Amino acid sequence: MTHKWSIKNCPKDIESQVLSVIGLIDKKGSASDMDLCKIFGEVLWSDGKYFNSHAFRFLFDHETLSCEVTKRHLH
């Protein structure tokens, strides 16, 4: 069953990948670092709360069915 997730601050150019992750979470109950690497086609890693790429941080909250995307600020 697909649940209705709210997606905040997602750039249009990565929206389809974010929706793929949400679909995977709905199907399997979770997504791993490797799953996200395959979906986005780049290295992503989890810090325990967020999934991170070179440009973005992703928070997939299973309880509230929300996803928040924020730009990473690299110094």
Question: Which pLDDT value is given to residue 15?
Answer: 95
Q: What residues does each domain of the chain span?
A: 6-71
The per-residue pLDDT string of the chain (75 residues; one tens digit each, 9 = 90 and over) reads 456 999 999 999 999 999 999 999 999 999 999 999 999 999 999 999 999 999 999 999 989 999 999 998 766
Residues in Cβ contact with 22 at an 8 Å cutoff, skipping those fewer than 6 apart? 5, 7, 60, 67
Map tokens 């697909």 to a residue: 2
pTM value? 0.86
